Amino acid sequence: MNWLWAGILAAVAAWQLNKIIVRFWGEWGTIWITPAVEETVKTTGAFVLGADLILTHGFFGAIEALYDLKTSRRRGFSAALASLLGHLVFGMAAQGAWTVYGSLFAAVAFGTMGHLAWNVLISMLTKRKRIP
């Protein structure tokens, strides 16, 4: 059950840090900086608490999904589903890196690379313009 605590703590930490990032860097920060922040707090939190990586990432995604449902009227359901499934996939990438390399750094890096790729793809599809 440590994954519940790891997911909650990661969500709280990411929420606070992401607010700072958005204030200083706006949309650019959302696309390019928040993935590293979120993957670091999720993966490191799971590691420190001895929690399952995939479940921690999935629970974080579920919390983000609830936020998306509450704040995004037009795209709430699809945004929520994307949050949940996306964070599960990032958790699988982190777990895969941990299994292969036995490295917290590798786990964070692989999760971050997946998250960055996802953010760029979504930004391209929704904005239909050049990525900031």
Average pLDDT over residues 110-128: 89
Residues 6+ apart with CB under 8 A from 28: 132
The answer, yes or no, to whether residue 127 has pLDDT greater than 90, is: no
Domain ranges of the chain: 2-127
Q: According to the model, what pLDDT value does residue 77 have?
A: 86
Q: According to the model, what pLDDT value does residue 132 have?
A: 60
| Alpha helices by DSSP H, 72-103 | 76-101
Q: What percent of the chain has pLDDT over 70?
A: 95
- With contact defined as beta carbons under 8 Å apart, do 54 and 95 qualify? yes
Structure tokens at 122: 């979504």
